[in-house]
């Protein structure tokens, strides 16, 4: 593990410096190569993955793999033969599934700040969340029972972790939601006359679900990650590597 975290620090310093990678390699006794640098970046991604793996476990244990959705009543109208008819759709027994599949969707970026803090950032997201509702639609003399199923993809956020140079404590620096996802909806049981409801219900649920996802990410999910960071050990060897490079090439590497 000592070699990994030494390389982790070196790649971060090389990215933030005017010194070329081959020069750094020469100054450090030609102890690094391109494959090692790639491995360091992969290992940094693995550290991120461990945080998210702990998050998924905690979400599962606390029931956030199946989030109850609120009952909803949607009012709508439709013009038929020049006459406007009013109706409503009652949505109930709703569940949002698989939001606990948050995972890293890109390679982790590594940066060493001027004060020596280390920042590791990556994009994370959910691609295969699903939702389920039962629905009763009341329109004219019709009142069919229908099943609403949906798929939520491309939930994306940027997460950055800051490791404090003096205490080696890890804190959340950035948790920015970039997209609350794209929702696709399929409704079975409406019948041909009420098929126009699919688009209306899909638009309504899109706004509802995106709001719920944003609230979950910014609230309980972020809180769980902060607790994980407080408990997850971050090896100190990375800072020893920073000091070693500073001793060779000076402060200009920051």
Q: What is the pLDDT of residue 39?
A: 58
Q: Determine which of 34-38, 119-123, 245-249 has the lowest per-residue pLDDT on average.
A: 245-249
Confidence class of residue 72 from pLDDT cuts 50, 70 and 90?
Answer: very high
| Whether 196 contacts 78, CB under 8 Å | yes
Confidence class of residue 32 from pLDDT cuts 50, 70 and 90?
Answer: very low
Mean pLDDT of the chain: 77
Instruction: Kindly list the distances between the CA atom of residue 237 and the CA atoms of 4, 165, 233, 234, 249, in Å, as whole numbers in the listed order.
Output: 9, 11, 12, 9, 19
What pTM was computed for the model? 0.74
Q: Determine which of 28-42, 149-163, 190-204, 213-227 has the lowest per-residue pLDDT on average.
A: 28-42
Bridge partner list, 91? 72, 135
| Residue 27 host element (H or E) | helix 21-27
| Whether 107 contacts 5, CB under 8 Å | no
pLDDT digits over 81-135, tens only?
A: 777 778 888 999 999 999 999 999 887 887 777 777 778 889 999 998 999 999 9
Helix, strand, coil percentages (3-state) for the chain, rounded to 5, are: 40, 35, 25
Q: What is the pLDDT of residue 112?
A: 73
Q: What is the pLDDT of residue 5?
A: 38
Is the pLDDT higher at 49 or at 246? 49
Query: In this structure, what token pair is assigned to residue 234?
Result: 């971050």
Residue 225 has pLDDT above 90, yes or no: yes
Short-list 47, 37, 48, CA closest to 9: 37
Q: Using alpha carbons only, what angle is made at residue 100 by residues 94 and 103, rounded to the nearest 5 degrees?
A: 140
Residue 208 has pLDDT above 90, yes or no: yes
> What domains are defined for the chain?
2-253 (3.15.10.50)
Query: In this structure, what token pair is assigned to residue 191?
Result: 């019948």
Residue 33 has pLDDT above 60, yes or no: no
| Whether 190 contacts 159, CB under 8 Å | no
Rounded average pLDDT over 14-31: 42
Query: In this structure, what token pair is assigned to residue 92?
Result: 């109930």
Rounded average pLDDT over 74-83: 79
Q: What is the pLDDT of residue 110?
A: 76
Q: Where are the beta strands (DSSP E) in 98-144?
A: 103-104, 109-112, 118-126, 129-139
């Amino acid at each position: 593990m000592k070699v990994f975290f030494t390389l982790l620090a070196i790649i971060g310093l090389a990215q933030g410096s005017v010194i070329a990678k081959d020069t750094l390699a020469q100054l450090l006794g030609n102890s690094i190569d391109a494959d090692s640098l790639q491995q360091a970046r992969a290992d940094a991604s693995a550290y991120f993955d461990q945080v998210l793996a702990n998050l998924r476990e905690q979400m599962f244990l606390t029931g956030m793999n199946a989030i109850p959705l609120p009952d909803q009543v949607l009012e709508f109208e439709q013009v038929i033969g020049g006459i406007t008819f009013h109706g409503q759709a009652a949505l109930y027994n709703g569940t949002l599934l698989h939001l606990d599949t948050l995972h890293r969707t890109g390679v982790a970026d590594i940066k060493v700040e001027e004060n020596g803090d280390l920042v590791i950032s990556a994009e994370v997201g959910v691609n295969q969340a699903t939702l389920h509702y039962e629905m009763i639609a009341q329109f004219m003399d019709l009142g069919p029972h229908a099943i609403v199923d949906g798929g939520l993809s491309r939930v994306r956020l940027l997460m950055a972790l800051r490791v404090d140079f003096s205490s080696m404590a890890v804190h959340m620096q950035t948790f920015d939601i970039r997209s609350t996802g794209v929702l696709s909806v399929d409704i079975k049981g409406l019948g041909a006359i009420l098929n126009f409801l699919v688009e209306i219900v899909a638009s309504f649920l899109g706004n509802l679900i995106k709001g719920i996802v944003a609230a979950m990410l910014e609230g309980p999910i972020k809180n769980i990650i902060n607790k994980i960071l407080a408990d997850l050990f971050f090896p100190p060897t990375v800072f020893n590597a920073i000091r070693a490079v500073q001793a060779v090439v000076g402060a200009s590497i920051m």
